[in-house]
Amino acid sequence: MRPDTRRPWLETLAVLAALPLVALWPLPRALNQGLLAAPGQEAADHLFGLHAALEAADPVIVDTLLAGWPVGTRFVLVDPLHLVPFGLGSLIGPIAGYNLVLWFGVLVAGLAGALLSRELGGRMWVGAALAVTSPPLLSSVSEGQTENFAVGWVALQLFLLLRYLRSGRPGWGAAAAVALAACFYGGPYNGVFAALIDGAVGLWWVRRRPGVLGVGALAAALVAPLAYGVLYLRGDHLPGALARAALPEATGLLHGFRGGLRYGIDLTDAWAPAPLTGGTADIAHTGYIGIIALVLAGIAVARDRRLWPWLAGGLAFLLVALGPHLYWKGEVLRWGGQPLLAPVGVLIEALPEVGRMNRWYRAAAVASLLLIPLAARACRPSWLVAFAVADALWLSPVPWPHGVQQPRFAADLLTLEAPGPLLEVPHHQDHAVRDNPGDENLYAAALHGRPLSGSFLGIPGWLAPHPLYRQLQEVGQRGGDAGPVVAAFAEQGFAYLVWYPEYARLSPQGRRALDAALGPPVVRKPELVVWRLGTSDAPAP
């Protein structure tokens, strides 16, 4: 490699080595200390899902005894691609594994931004810097939805596809197919968005390069196992299920409309700096591209009209990100008293199955990655990059530095000496929400590694309707003879009874009844009470 060709790569590597750590700050300091996420969101669910899949050594359809003991739980891992960085990070610890998933996703996005910028004649390091700090990408940190961090693969596979179309080399075609499949294995939305892009590009090129059909066929074959799991085994209660395919109700949100709308983004969100509009949500899934990046992208197309497909693609995905209805500063726009439909809403009315998707705001990250190569091409002089990065980090609705969710119950549960599963009250099966311990006990479970009685992700479990569980709840609330019910659970292999008084009432009479049956608790705190259930026959995890 000649010095003149080596320099762009060295500049890009320098950016990719340093800037992701800045964009994800305080990740270096919190690597194995706490999840880079907001409490009460979905980080713990995704941590537990990745942990269970890794333990089961099953990347797609996971059968595990770590949830729903002793019956077990079956679930579909939505982003098996992330088992690679999670597994590597888990050599340090599960928390580090989760945080490494975020870092890996930002790194891939930065690499894709660099390569696409090079394709359009821009400087690679500029594209990397803009992609690494993309607000729609970084907004996924607080939500804890790890599949959002695979969006960089959408841009990476586009680069590989363009290389194949321009060179005709089968190696590039095979790489493009694998990368397209990786989009699906990183999350269904990424796969759908990549397929939309490739469909448009393929139609343009198919006569000149008919082999593009083979690229799509190879990718489809690679994705088939995951598609079966997502389409046919994923529960009807979860997003993406056919039972939930419908046009959602239009609901305004005057406070927190910048990133707080449930299905899409506000019309002000893509272009307006957050201080200009206010209304920033605490947990913001923003579509903010950056005012500087948008202006630079427009300048690039004005200078070279041949680049218009990139601008059109970026704007098209911003239209998708609006979701089903149009909002202006949180208010539903109406015509004749009826909510105005965005393009997605019109499509859902025509094809109701499209309503299986509901996180339309994720399309903004794809829009950002399509517009960044344009911005990188027009970004002169170099100091403009600093302003664009500052715009992304400080003027977007995304809080930066990011928050860190500390494990709350893990320290106490790690002190338990006897091996065996935990019987938890309340029974949790809903995903992480603020009024149950779903985000806290699942977080702890990935650290202590013990099987749990409850399920997660809203997967129906055996425990909630069971008469024994209802009897145990009654004892905790009103007292009585706890001996028979706790003995029955001990016979099923449970080693400890874990009660969360903040989420399930534990009266003084109930405490005395359980103490009488089990002896004094091994842990007694306002937020956590743990009793030994007896000798467990369950194998140590």
* DSSP SS3 for 36: coil
Q: Which two tokens stand for residue 55?
A: 């333990």
Cβ atoms of 524 and 458 closer than 8 Å: no
Rg (alpha carbons) of the chain, rounded to whole number: 25
Cβ atoms of 473 and 453 closer than 8 Å: no
Domain presence at residue 465 = yes
What is the C-alpha end-to-end distance of the chain, expressed in Å? 51
Domain presence at residue 514 = yes
Domain presence at residue 506 = yes
CA dihedral (69, 77, 458, 442) positive or negative: positive
Show the domain range for 474.
410-532
Q: How far apart are CA 229 and CA 209, in angstroms?
A: 33
* DSSP SS3 for 48: helix
Domain presence at residue 432 = yes
> How much helix, strand and coil, in percent to the nearest 5, is found in the chain?
55, 5, 35
Domain presence at residue 349 = no
Cβ atoms of 403 and 149 closer than 8 Å: no
Domain presence at residue 419 = yes
Q: How many CB atoms lie within 10 A of CB 126?
A: 28
Closest CA to 124 of 277, 12, 228: 12
User: Residue 7 belongs to what H/E stretch?
Assistant: helix 3-23
- Is-cis flag, bond preceding 381, omega within 30? yes
List the beta bridge partners of residue 76: 61
Question: What's the total number of domains in the chain?
Answer: 1
Please give the C-alpha separations between residue 75 and each of 203, 432, 455, in angstroms, as whole numbers.
36, 16, 10
Domain presence at residue 253 = no
Domain presence at residue 443 = yes
Spell 453-476 as b/e; 16+ CB within 10 A means b.
bbbbbbbebbbeeeeebebbbebb
Query: What is the 8-class DSSP label of residue 247?
Result: P
Full pLDDT tens readout for the chain, 541 residues: 566 688 999 999 999 999 999 999 999 999 999 999 988 888 999 999 999 999 998 888 899 999 999 889 888 899 999 999 999 999 999 999 999 999 999 999 999 999 999 999 999 999 999 999 999 999 999 989 999 999 999 999 999 999 999 999 999 999 999 999 999 999 999 999 999 999 999 999 999 999 999 999 999 999 998 887 777 665 555 555 555 567 788 777 778 888 888 899 999 999 999 999 998 888 888 999 999 999 999 999 999 999 999 999 999 999 999 999 999 998 999 998 899 999 999 999 999 988 888 899 999 999 999 999 999 999 999 899 999 999 999 999 999 999 999 998 999 999 999 999 999 998 764 444 445 555 788 999 999 999 999 887 777 777 777 888 899 999 999 999 999 999 999 999 999 999 999 888 899 999 999 999 999 999 999 999 999 997 544 444 4
Q: Which segments within 456-518 are labelled E, that is strand?
A: 496-499
